[in-house]
Structure 1
Amino acid sequence: MQNKDRNTWSWGFTTGAENWNGRLAMIGFISALVTELLTGKGVLHFLGLV
């Protein structure tokens, strides 16, 4: 295991990248759910794609 500073950015499948991916996915899911609850339409209908 490498001893790296936690604030440095490294490319690839790192723990930090996976944490951010998970956080952003949760925000996107909640946003889609709130949009559907407020408008009564799914996200694709709301955006006019369907």
Structure 2
Amino acid sequence: MFISFLLPILSNRWIWGFSKGAETWNGRLAMLSFLVIFYFEFVYSLPVLNLLGFL
């Protein structure tokens, strides 16, 4: 009975490496980072590299 309770938890483990889940999260984080970069460039009217001190 206790093992049947754990089976859904164990079957949904994170798969490391190149997998569909990793590609999905990579795409989501890339889109979010682009939105943040565009927001800072719009608000401050400067490139992000200038804000970070690289240019």
Give the TM-score of the pair, scaled to structure 1.
Answer: 0.84
Structure 1 spans left out of the alignment, 5+ residues: none
RMSD of the alignment, in Å? 1.4
Give the number of the structure whose residues are more often helix, by fraction. Answer: 2
* Larger RCO, structure (CA 8 Å, separation 6 or more): 1
Q: Which runs of 4+ in 1 moved over 3 A?
A: none
Larger gyration radius, structure 1 or structure 2:
2
Matches within 5 A, 1:1-50: 5=11, 7-50=12-55
Where does structure 2 lack aligned partners over 5 or more consecutive residues? 1-10
- When the two structures are superposed, what TM-score results if normalisation uses the length of structure 2? 0.77
| % same residue | 47
Q: How many aligned positions are there?
A: 46
